[in-house]
């Protein structure tokens, strides 16, 4: 029996991420105790493009750190690609993080002395040493997608801030992650560069079927995502 294509797309998309009752307290049990996340439930399906907004200090970066397995929740459960992460040891967490998740931060932390291409290849070199011809081909393709093919062999120090941000996006994608986490990736860019970066997210989302969760303070950019999550005082509203 065949299903209509639209229904198929909706009902059969894999669940990339699920959070159930995630909390995070800093300095628990002390007079300084602060509950930053107060019970977050969230699901993200393959290929979704979702904005995360909320006032400064509402817990957005803290939440991204939980999802990116960079920090441990105080309570609650978190699944990535169907794997419940609390049961993983440190090695397995790192392996899952490297395999499934790409990160783009506001400050891109490129290695300035390396070429643009080598910066993009870095996550693969960390993973398995010398890049293969296929690795290099993918890195060049991603740089081409980012409009940076002509800059591949320049030192990263010799390109503009907006171009560096696009290199950081290519670097985050070179491992073909199922989920891209971006924490205010356009926060220090002018409107036009921010727009370019956002269009690239839309392109990546479609071209590579990569789910993207992007923190932004810009309501215009959030409106262009498929849905918007808003965090206020540690809770989703």
Ligand X SMILES: Nc1ncnc2c1ncn2[C@@H]1O[C@H](COP(=O)(O)OP(=O)(O)OP(=O)(O)O)[C@@H](O)[C@H]1O
Residue ranges binding Mg ion (CB under 5 A): 60-61
Q: Which of residues 27-46 bind ligand X (CB under 6 A)?
A: 34, 36
Question: Does 26 contact ligand X by CB under 6 A?
Answer: yes
Q: What burial class does residue 138 get, using C-beta atoms within 10 Å of its C-beta: 0-12 exposed, 13-18 middle, 19+ buried?
A: buried
Closest CB to Mg ion among residues 81, 188: 188
Question: Does 54 contact ligand X by CB under 6 A?
Answer: yes
Phi, psi (5° rounding) for residue 102?
-115, 150
Q: DSSP alpha helices (H): ranges in 156-209?
A: 161-173, 191-207
Closest CB to ligand X among residues 53, 163: 53
Closest CB to ligand X among residues 66, 119: 66
How far does Cα 207 stand from its chain's mean position? 16
Which tokens sit at 212? Answer: 């993207």
Closest CB to ligand X among residues 70, 96: 70
Q: For the stretch 188-204, what's the b/e string if a residue is b when 16 or more beta carbons lie within 10 angstroms of its beta carbon?
A: ebeeebbbbbbebbeeb
Q: Residue from 53, 58, 85, 196 that binds ligand X (CB under 6 A)?
A: 58
Q: Report what 57 binds from Mg ion, ligand X, none; CB cut-off 5-8 Å by kind.
A: ligand X
What distance in Å separates the CA atoms of residue 19 and residue 227, rounded to the nearest whole number?
17
Name the residue number minimizing CB distance to Mg ion.
61
Question: Does 60 contact ligand X by CB under 6 A?
Answer: yes
Q: Report what 177 binds from ligand X, Mg ion, none; CB cut-off 5-8 Å by kind.
A: none
If one counts every other C-beta atom within 10 angstroms of the C-beta of residue 88, the result is: 16
Question: Does 205 contact ligand X by CB under 6 A?
Answer: no
- Residues in contact with ligand X by the rule CB under 6 A: 26, 34, 36, 54, 56-62
């Amino acid at each position: 029996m065949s299903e209509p294509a639209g229904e198929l797309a909706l009902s059969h998309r894999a669940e990339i991420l699920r959070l159930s009752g995630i909390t995070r307290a800093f300095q628990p049990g002390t007079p300084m105790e602060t509950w930053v996340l107060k019970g977050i439930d969230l699901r993200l399906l393959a290929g979704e493009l979702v904005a995360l907004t909320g006032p400064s200090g509402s817990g957005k970066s803290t939440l991204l750190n939980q999802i990116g397995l960079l920090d441990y929740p105080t309570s609650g459960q978190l699944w990535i690609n169907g794997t419940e992460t609390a049961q993983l040891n440190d090695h397995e967490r790192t392996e899952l993080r490297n395999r499934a998740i790409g990160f783009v931060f506001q400050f891109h932390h490129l290695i300035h002395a390396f070429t643009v291409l080598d910066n993009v290849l870095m996550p693969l070199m960390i993973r398995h040493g010398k890049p293969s011809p296929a690795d290099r081909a993918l890195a060049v393709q991603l740089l081409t997608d980012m409009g940076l093919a002509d800059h591949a062999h320049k030192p990263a120090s010799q390109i503009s801030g907006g171009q560096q941000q696009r290199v950081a996006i290519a670097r985050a994608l070179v491992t073909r992650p199922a989920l891209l986490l971006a924490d205010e990736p356009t926060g220090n860019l002018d409107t036009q560069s921010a727009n370019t970066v956002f269009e690239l997210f839309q392109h990546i989302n479609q071209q590579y079927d990569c789910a993207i969760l992007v923190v932004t303070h810009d309501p215009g950019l959030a409106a262009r995502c498929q849905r918007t999550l808003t965090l206020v005082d540690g809770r989703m509203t």
